Amino acid sequence: MSKASELREMSDDQLEFTLRETQEELFRLRFQATTEKLDSPSNLRKARRQICRIKTIQRERALAAQADTAARTV
């Protein structure tokens, strides 16, 4: 699991790839949880938090880009 500072250093493409990987991991963990073969339930929480971190950073970048566009048109 990456820290937010490490995620902020990634490019947009890398973030998107990491997001997809983490979502797939969360799916597998949920599947294991329903079949009662999950070794560490804390991994579910870690995966969800990782997804939230990535989405937050993507949103920050989108808002920053939007602000730049608005500043240029004024």
Between 72 and 48, the higher pLDDT residue: 48
At 25, list the tokens: 């991991």
Report the CATH number that the domain containing residue 25 is assigned in CATH: 1.10.287.310
pLDDT digits (tens, 9 = 90+) for 31-66: 999 998 888 999 999 999 999 999 999 999 999 999
Judge whether residue 1 has pLDDT over 70. Answer: no
Amino acid at 63: L
> Measured between alpha carbons, how far is 38 from 30 in angstroms, rounded to an integer?
8
In which domain, by residue range, is 52 found? 4-73
Q: Structural domain tally of the chain?
A: 1
CA angle 47, 20, 60 (to 5 degrees): 80
| pLDDT confidence band for 72 (50 / 70 / 90) | confident
How far is C-alpha 25 from the geometric centre of its chain's CA atoms? 12
> Measured between alpha carbons, how far is 13 from 11 in angstroms, rounded to an integer?
5
For the four alpha carbons of 59, 25, 18 and 8, in that order, the dihedral sign comes to positive
| pLDDT confidence band for 2 (50 / 70 / 90) | confident
